[in-house]
Amino acid sequence: MVIIMNEFIMHRHPANPIIKPEDFPVPADSVMNCGQAMYKGKTVLLVAAIYRGLVNGKRTGIHVAMSDDGINFEIDAKPLCSGTDFGGDEMFYDCWVIDPRLTQIGDEYYISRPGEGAIGPCALLEKTTDFKTTEFLGCIALPPNRVPCLFPEKIDGKYVRLDRPMSGSGKGCGEIWISYSPDLKFWGDYKPLLKPGFTPQFDFKIGPTVPAKTSKGWLEIIHGTWDSCADTRYSVGAVLLDLNDPSKIIGHCNSWILTPQADYELTGHVRDVCFPCGCLVDEEKDEIRIYYGASDEFVCLATGSVSELIDACIKGL
Ligand code: BMA
């Protein structure tokens, strides 16, 4: 057993990993990076699975996991998202269904996720209201783009998103941008928001998750990578954006808030990975929950005090 010496604000739940491949109702090798939201008082996760062999002819799928207590989940055997015929070409563009970002806007839940592409992923959007069926809304970003994360409400009458229009290669190539839309279809007013290198722990690339509204600003959990001669380490960071103008950064933590240290993060299918797609914030309980993918094999949970995290962003701790 690994003893974690230096957790910073976020604490690993003792029940980790809370979802393992063997918990899955279909044969899976990896259960990983997940979208997260509240639905009818329950915690809902959209869990990406890489199947063991083909399941109904598919290599991957995104499955709904629901829970009353946020720890014990019931997982649907039938995937909610299993790829579409977008782009034709024997599903070339939508054959690897992973990394969903889930945003609740009113009574609707939007799922943005990467589609395959020869020069990198494009971004596909689906919508659900019942977590049983989805409506495919199309492609909302050209490749290479990983992955637009929608804000949960309009700001100044426009939908807002963060994404990583990755281009080039090498250190510092992946940065986060903000853009706006009148209808979730046509996007513009692009502005760069945050570049890798704002902390040495995230020197290679960074990527967004779905922002959470707090009384002090939009809390934006990010992933960021650090490249060594041995491997790429995926950690979790936090940024605070202005409530009325989210293109303004109010503050950010000076380093990671979660980095691979536990055995289920250090070993596994891809070692050294903590990969978030969102977070759940409850300011009344002063709680933040981040369900994250650990080593591309498990779903894990880290919890912390949201006021402490916001304070750390503002002070740059
Ligand atoms: C990223 C994504 C994630 C994955 C991570 C680590 O590029 O593909 O799905 O968790 O790499 O392997």
- Model confidence pTM above 0.85: yes
What are the mean pLDDT values of the chain's consecutive 10-residue runs (317 residues total)?
75 97 97 97 98 95 98 98 84 88 98 89 96 97 92 98 83 88 97 93 93 98 92 96 98 96 94 98 98 98 98 97
Q: What is the pLDDT of residue 259?
A: 97
Euclidean distance between the first and final Cα of the chain, in Å? 29
The beta-carbon contacts of 50-55 under 8 Å, at least 24 apart in sequence, are 50/98, 50/296, 51/26, 51/27, 52/21, 52/27, 52/28, 53/27, 55/26, 55/27
Q: What is the pLDDT of residue 118?
A: 79
Task: Give CA–CA dist 258/160, Å, rounded.
Answer: 26
CB-CB contact of 272 with 295 (8 Å): yes
What residues have CB less than 8 Å from 131, skipping those under 6 apart? 39, 44, 64, 66, 80, 109
Instruction: Give yes or no for a contact between 131 and 64, defined as CB atoms under 8 angstroms apart.
Output: yes
- Give the integer Cα–Cα distance in Å for 263 and 35: 23
- Whole-number pLDDT of residue 204: 87
CB 178 within 8 A of CB 193: yes
Three-state DSSP string of 253-307: CCCCCECCCCHHHHCCCCCCEEEECCCEEECCCCEEEEEEEECCCEEEEEEECHH
Dist. CA 149 → ligand 1 center (Å): 16
- The answer to whether 123 touches 145, Cβ cutoff 8 Å, is yes
Q: How far is the CA of 157 from the centre of ligand 1 (A)?
A: 33
Q: In this predicted structure, what is the pLDDT of residue 168? A: 65
Q: Ligand 1 pocket, 231 CB below 6 A?
A: no
270 ligand 1 Cβ < 6 A:
yes
Ligand 1 pocket: which of 47, 62, 97, 99 to mutate (most atoms within 8 A of CB): 99
State the DSSP string of 70-88.
Answer: SSS-EE-SS-SB----TT-
CA of 60 to the centre of ligand 1 (A): 14
Q: Which of 1, 55, 6 lies closest to 31 in space, CA to CA?
A: 55
Determine the pLDDT at residue 243.
98
Residue 103, pLDDT score:
98
How far is it, in rounded angstroms, from Cα 66 to Cα 44? Answer: 5
Q: Specify whether the CB–CB gap between 129 and 121 falls below 8 A.
A: no
Phi, psi of 292 (to 5 degrees): -130, 155
Structure tokens at 48: 């990406």
